[in-house]
Amino acid sequence: MVEIIEALEVTSALVEAFERLTPQLSSSNPPPSAEALEEIVGSPASRLLLAVEPGSSAGGAVPSDPDAIVGSLTLAVFPIPTGLRAWIEDVVVDGAARGRGVGEALNRAALALARSVGARTVDLTSRPSREAANRLYQRLGFVA
């Protein structure tokens, strides 16, 4: 099983990991630059969760080996007039790590984090073609 950590700093390994992961998520968007990742990590509205190989993260720090980062998820948390809301975005699991529960671990961690900060709802969108992901989301309680 993987460990889920929150990226609190941007390292060269994190940038390298996104260079590998982003094309697996989107063929039309380039990987984020170090500056873009700094903006995400530094924003009070977003939390960048990483799935890392067990034992690769010393004290919750971003691993120094980019290959130890096998997935990521961004949780956006924002206030609206009816309360605090959360949105799950850009869930990606490295192809070599699929089928090991990485996506489920990332989503469960995001749901727990959203609850812990008081979000009233957590939403996400997913393309119909992502059948395995959609089955996971339904298992986690999301509805179409």
Report the amino acid identity of residue 61. Answer: A
Structure tokens at 87: 């949105």
Inter-residue contact 4 to 73 (CB < 8 Å): no
Name the band, by pLDDT with cuts 50, 70 and 90, for residue 58: confident
Q: How much of the chain exceeds pLDDT 90, in percent? A: 91
Looking up tokens 């004290």 gives: 59
Structural tokens at position 70: 């096998």
Contact 105, 2 (CB under 8 A): yes
Please report the domains of the chain, with CATH numbers, ordered by start residue: 3-139 (3.40.630.30)
The mean pLDDT value for 35-59 works out to 96
Tell if the pTM clears 0.85, that is, is over it: yes
The answer, yes or no, to whether residue 144 has pLDDT greater than 80, is no
**Residue predicted with more confidence, 132 or 97:** 97
